[in-house]
C-alpha cells in the first residue's frame, strides 16, 4: 500500500496565528503517525506559478490514514486557526510504488 502525503501551499498572513496552529495540530499529527517531510519557505519553481510562501509535505502510512487525520476531531479543532492565518491550497496524494519484479525476470539490456 503506498504512503499518503498531504501537501499544503500556504500564503501566510499571520505568523503568530500559524504558530498557534502548529501547536494545536501537533497532537493530532502525532496520534495519526504523521511525519513532516518538508517545510520550505522558498521552493525553487521550475515551471508555472506556485501558490504561497511556504510549502509543507506531511507523510502518512496511507492515503486513508491521511484522510482520517484531516477529518479527525483533533485536526478539525486546529484547522480554523490555519484558515484564519493563511490562504492554503491542500491536497492528499498517493506515493508511488514501483511494480514488483517477478522472480526469474531477466534483464533485457
Q: How confident is the model over 39-95, as pLDDT tens digits?
A: 999 899 999 999 999 999 999 999 999 999 999 999 999 999 999 999 999 999 999
Residue 109 lies in a domain: no
Please report, for the domain that includes residue 61, its CATH number: 3.30.70.100
Assigned C-alpha cell, 40: 520550505
Cell of 86: 493563511
CA distances from 13 to 36, 86, 97, 101 (A): 22, 5, 37, 48
Count of domains for the chain: 1
* Assigned C-alpha cell, 84: 484564519
Q: What domain range includes position 76?
A: 4-44+51-94
Is 84 part of any domain? yes
Q: Is residue 100 part of a domain?
A: no
Bridge partners (DSSP) of residue 55 are: 9, 40
Determine, yes or no, domain membership for 103: no
Amino acid at each position: 500500500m503506498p504512503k499518503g502525503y498531504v501537501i499544503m501551499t500556504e500564503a501566510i498572513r499571520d505568523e503568530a496565528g500559524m504558530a498557534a496552529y502548529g501547536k494545536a495540530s501537533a497532537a493530532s499529527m502525532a496520534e495519526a503517525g504523521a511525519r513532516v517531510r518538508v517545510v520550505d519557505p522558498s521552493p525553487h519553481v521550475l515551471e508555472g506559478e506556485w501558490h504561497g510562501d511556504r510549502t509543507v509535505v506531511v507523510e502518512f502510512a496511507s492515503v486513508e490514514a491521511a484522510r482520517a487525520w484531516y477529518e479527525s476531531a483533533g485536526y478539525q479543532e486546529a484547522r480554523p486557526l490555519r484558515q484564519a492565518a493563511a490562504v492554503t491550497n491542500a491536497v492528499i496524494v498517493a506515493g508511488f510504488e514501483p511494480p514488483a519484479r517477478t522472480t526469474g525476470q531477466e534483464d533485457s539490456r
